[in-house]
Chains A and B, each alone.
Chain A
Amino acid sequence: MTTSDPVLRPSRATPLLPEAGAAGTPLTVVIAVLAFMASIALAGYFMVSRAVHDWTGDLSGTITVQIKGATGADIERDATRAFEVLQATDGIAGVSRLSREDTEALLEPWLGTDNLGPEIPIPMLITAEVTPERRGDLDILRQTLASRAPGASLDDHSLWNDRLVGAARRGQAVAFVVFSMVMGASAAVIIFATRAGLAANREIVEVMHLVGATNKFIADEVQRRYLTLGLRGGGIGALLAAVILFLSASFNREQQGLFLPNLSADPLMLFWLILVPILLCGVASITARLTVMRVLGEQM
């Protein structure tokens, strides 16, 4: 025979089980939608985690000392003493005192401009950076400030931090539950589709058995199909999610400076989204395999 003989053409083996029942394009769409939801849930988990880490990291690295008093002179005296105490304390650096002008600017949204006469005693703020070691033991500093500058109160932001971390943990738990439910729904859909596919291809499965196919061989065939399907559907869903997150990140960058934490996506998080199609592939192929083995085992 010559190489021009048409029968010697290299062939690509046709899948032994054709797409039938609920498998095929409709199932790819369903998997893509589930992958999109799983990606958004996963992204939400990481975005909240990152935002809280950034925010609490900023806050826990600083302390704020607020000085109040009955008169401007009292405030000025206590502010100077507090400033000196902070500068003299180990583990405290970058002590910065807000000027009266800066403070007035902070109050402007509530009190308007030029409404604060020089006789009004505006509280003063001093911020400082604190090392983790010092942050663990701020009681001595509090006592020193209380004795040297009675109008000063130290705020280490722990109350705000705790509330923020608590809210973030709840948000992460919700995202994780959603992600898990989507994976569970994917498994349920695959079980249904696999059973429907086996029922629709009953004659083919029977012929395969009669020519000597083992259940494992048939399960391999089905598993290969669902692996491809999971990769295709999962990839489409994750890609759509990545596009949405990218657009969202662009929008968030434009909103920088707002009081809310930045919930934008970063490239590393987008990398984690690759996990979604991989996980869906795993869920789809393993679920399909177990379903085939179970169904064929029941028929024997």
Chain B
Amino acid sequence: MNSINQRSTNTSTGAPIGAVPPKIVDLRDVQLSYDGQHNVLHDASLVLREGDFRFLTGASGAGKTTLLKLIYLAHHATAGQVQLFGQDVSTLPPEALPTLRRRIGVVFQEFRLLDHLTAFENVALPMRVMGHKEVAYRNDVIDLLKWVGLSHRMDARPPALSGGEKQRVALARAIVSKPDLILADEPTGNVDPDMGAKIMQLLIELNKLGTAVIVATHDFSLVKRLQMKILRLKDGQVTLHQPLSDIAADAAGRGTR
């Protein structure tokens, strides 16, 4: 796929072999509260480097979506330090945030597609807001939509798409601009197992090319099968775990369901 090939070219000038990859996300003692009293995140810390792939797990309401929102700059930390791509976001002027957001592809749990745009136009949205001409991204968007099995639905608008189709459009939109970081909130939640496996395979391929990926999920069979490191969110804090063995997966699954 063009987008993946181009991404490969982009990362060929990355860190030297053996060097520690640069930090993409660096959260230190972050607190986040919606009401000023109850902290959803409490002294949460995590480091994500270029090329890392992490599952983000936790019970419902643990704050997985909140943590992702903090990283894609939809929320601001009430305390602590948030660094993205080596920059402390609290010191950046508001007009600098779009540049950071363009390096992050997000698959929203609720899709957040624009109903008045076609599937093609929704996928092309990040390219359009970056000021690219359609001729520059048209083929990439078409390839992506074909890859997610929606070549016949390019002119359809979201209200006419099924949940699974919306999910696939949202995924294509998240990766069309070849971001350095992909945040996926339950990306397989609305698709059939085959498409779910395909989506995860794409994320893994992108990850192998250097893209950092965080996948928030409740699907422990997925976590168990792919054997990636896990960020576990509990009591507002993030802990890093090694890939689950089958037994551990069963135990963890029981604890978070």
Mark A residues whose CB is within 8 Å of B: 1, 6-8, 11, 13-14, 16, 18, 203-204, 206-215, 217, 297, 300
Contact = CB atoms under 8 A, between A and B. Distances in A.
Interface string B36-78: 0000000000000000000000000000000000001110000
Interface stretch (B9-17, B109-117, B212-220, B241-249): B109-117
A264 B116 CA distance: 49
A13 B128 contact: yes
Nearest to A297: B94
Given A7-B154, A208-B129, A13 B134 contact: yes
A297 B97 CA distance: 13
B72 A212 contact: no
Contacts, number: 66
Nearest to A19: B116
A212 B120 contact: no
B180 to A, nearest CB: 12
23 contacts: A7-B142, A7-B154, A13-B121, A14-B116, A14-B117, A14-B118, A14-B121, A16-B125, A203-B112, A204-B114, A206-B74, A207-B125, A208-B125, A209-B98, A210-B73, A211-B126, A212-B101, A212-B126, A212-B129, A213-B129, A214-B129, A217-B129, A297-B94
B124 to A, nearest CB: 9
| Interface size class of chain B, counting residues whose CB lies under 8 Å from the partner chain | 20 to 34
Contacts of A209: 98, 101
Nearest to A296: B94
Q: Name the residue in A211, A297, A300 with the highest tally of chain B Cβ atoms < 10 Å from its Cβ.
A: A211
Contact of B72 (A203, A210, A213, A297): A210
A220 to B, nearest CB: 10
A18 B94 CA distance: 25
A215 B95 contact: yes
A83 to B, nearest CB: 82
Contacts of B121: 11, 13-14
B94 A300 contact: yes
Contacts of A215: 95
A213 B95 CA distance: 10
A62 B173 CA distance: 80
Interface string B123-153: 0011011110010000000100100000100
A118 B177 CA distance: 104
Q: Name the residue in A16, A207, A215 with the highest tally of chain B Cβ atoms < 10 Å from its Cβ.
A: A207
B114 A7 contact: no
Nearest to A300: B94
Given A7-B154, A14-B121, A300-B94, A210 B74 contact: yes
Given A13-B134, A14-B121, A217-B131, A212 B98 contact: yes
A11 B134 contact: yes
A214 B94 CA distance: 9
B167 to A, nearest CB: 16
A214 B116 contact: no
A7 B118 contact: no
B196 to A, nearest CB: 24
Contact of B130 (A203, A212, A297): A212
A6 B118 CA distance: 14
A8 B95 CA distance: 36
A6 B173 CA distance: 20
B174 to A, nearest CB: 9
Nearest to B72: A210
B203 interface: no
Contacts of A203: 112
Q: Name the residue in A7, A13, A300 with the highest tally of chain B Cβ atoms < 10 Å from its Cβ.
A: A7
A210 B74 CA distance: 7
